Structure 1
């Protein structure tokens, strides 16, 4: 069975004054879906108002790239 972090397409984490967004779809080169964009927007909006967050780091899971852009297959489906 997959761990929860393997099922979530976007992971959010804060440590100290840094917030981290991890795009978590390595098999799809972390291509963004509409749902992922909405979740990222919600997190960034919340962190913008949070004085404890000073910086945001965006990373991509896997070793092939940060993000392939929009997920054309998801848009088509």
Structure 2
């Protein structure tokens, strides 16, 4: 994983900044995914059109990527705190 190699080269302060940034991204994407889920269910029932679920899948994938990167950053921070 090239991302983990990049994380080992960063300082603790840079890791904490990156952690804060990805926590924000994850929070925003979670809210967007929830709103899209509610909206797509409403419009699917009302119009019997299920094409909006593509948007939900795209935002869910972005949420998953941000969550994985956040987990890697937090793991690297915890490893450095143990030393």
Structure (1 or 2) with the greater helix fraction: 2
Larger radius of gyration: 2
TMscore range, shorter length: 0.3 to 0.5
Tell me which of the two structures has the higher relative contact order, counting C-alpha pairs closer than 8 angstroms and 6 or more residues apart: 2
TM-score (norm 1): 0.37
